[in-house]
Structure 1
Amino acid sequence: MRGTVLAGVALLAVAAGGCSSAPDRFTDARALADAVTAATLAGHTAKFSTEVTTGTTVSRGQGQAQFGQGGTSLSMTTDYVGEPLELRLADRTLYAKVPEAARDQVSGHRAWVRISADGQDSFSQVMGGSLLQLAEQNDPAYTVAQARTAGVVSSSDETQLDGAAAEHYRLTVDLTKLGAELSAGVPGEALTRLGKQGVTVPLDLWLDARHRPMQLVLDLSPVAKAVGGGVSVVKARYTDWGAPVSVGAPNSDEIGTFGAG
């Protein structure tokens, strides 16, 4: 009898051990997004690299970011416009460093200009929306907010990313819930039509043990293809959490107005 009892206890211990070692992953997109947001704020800073594929064109960039309750500040260099371009996002304002050859078009021949999607200067009118979107898509808080608003967790698993342990979450984003937040250069009317057609956007997140983003991949191809475009994918990789960074707006005496040179 004693042997039977001990065997039963041993089996229960094995079962309990198996349960305790099972991964406790998120199944709800809102809970997942809240955990990632909290971990990002706790991480405070990170370095990142980015790869944006549009059709057959691939642009790359790298930068550093600081995360806070008041928003994200970042500085990055990208070849998105075909040549190296430095961007800074601070206090919810985007700045671009004008190439030396074009500074005769800037008031005071200054190096930096403010960029906005609805700006009246020619730089903003041509590139404002695209550059602002590029900066936002490198901010994990922006993408995670989309997942919280309109995401559904499709699946998750334990994996490795560049040799480090990671949790991989696959989500889909419902355009009817997201609306104009996911513009991708598509008019609001087109987004509404695509949403009614059931077009969704895949989002993949890789997180470390503290739920800090390691990598995100936002595949906008379903939207682009539905309106006659091609492949459209944004990939961002985050490293060096908590490392010192240098971010912030340019000095005021370095900022001019494009087209007023």
Structure 2
Amino acid sequence: MRATGFAAVCTALLLLGGCSGEEKPAAPPVKDAAQLASAAAEGTQKARSSKIALETTAEDGRKVVVTSSGLYEGPNSKFSMVAEVAGEKRDLIFADGVLYYHLSDAQVRELKTDKEWVKITADGKDALSAANGELMTNVVETLDPTRTIDRISKSGKITKSEQADLNGTATTHYVLDLGGSPAEVWVDAEQRPVQVNLGKTTVKYDSWASDVVIIAPPPEAIGDSR
């Protein structure tokens, strides 16, 4: 949606609970990591969707920047992504448990196909899976806040919690110890993650409960990456 003027923007945001003139206070802190994971999962499932921005560095040193929309449906969660890996951008869709990679014109010619999409996997032997399958599978798992915070909760312990303003949003900020490695989680008044810092990875969430529709590519557009 594009609109001009503060009034027009606020009219739209009022439908989503924004521009109310009174910001909701941050949620009271929970006592342990398991409660944090449970509260964040409930907030995520209630909102069902968000926009996501992820930045990380792969083990091989490649910089990864991802912008995504997420639709959270438990094990059937879906993501539509634009991933920039070492300066090269590519569209990907994760739906129905499958990761789809959009081919560039050069890749279409190289594979001698008329298809726009291929499936890639973490353990695939084809060139595209070998280059990006494991990396992007890990990215998908990290984009899902329920999975990420659940993993943190199983090995982490809350060492500090405080009320904090994060880019204008009232949040509860948690610092966790993951057996010597730090992690940080910020959640809003509805217990929805706003930001997660985990090692070299930073994930930011906004536009919760926005309209998101993610559909897998049609079968006729999917080719073989081998």
TM (norm. structure 2) is 0.82
Contact persistence 1:107–1:257 (CA under 8 A)? no
Whole-angstrom distance in 2 between the partners of 1:125 and 1:93:
16
Shift of 1:173: 2.1
Corresponding residue number in structure 1 for 2:217: 250
1:103 aligns with 2:108: yes
> Cα distance 1:39–1:22, how it changes in 2: closer, same or farther (>3 A)?
closer
Q: For residue 153 of structure 2, give the secondary structure of its aligned residue in structure 1.
A: helix
Shift of 1:27: 2.0
Q: 159, 162, 165: which is aligned to 2:164?
A: 159
Corresponding residue number in structure 1 for 2:56: 52
Larger Rg: 1
Corresponding residue number in structure 2 for 1:90: 95
Using the aligned pairs only, state the percent identity: 28
Alignment of 1:106-185 (within 5 A): 106=111, 108-174=113-179
1:106-134 C-alpha deviation (Å, 9 max, x unpaired): 46321111111111222112221111112
Q: 178, 188, 204: which is aligned to 1:237?
A: 204
Shift of 1:242: 0.6
Q: What is the number of residues matched between the two proteins? A: 201
Corresponding residue number in structure 2 for 1:16: none
Corresponding residue number in structure 1 for 2:185: 205
Whole-angstrom distance in 2 between the partners of 1:163 and 1:126:
39
Corresponding residue number in structure 1 for 2:29: 25
Contact persistence 2:58–2:135 (CA under 8 A)? no
Matched AA of 1:66: L
Q: Aligned Cα RMSD in Å?
A: 2.1
Q: For residue 126 of structure 1, give the secondary structure of its aligned residue in structure 2.
A: helix
1:28-50 C-alpha deviation (Å, 9 max, x unpaired): 11111011011101110001111
Higher alpha-carbon deviation: 102-111 or 51-60: 51-60
> Cα distance 1:23–1:137, how it changes in 2: closer, same or farther (>3 A)?
closer
TM (norm. structure 1) is 0.71
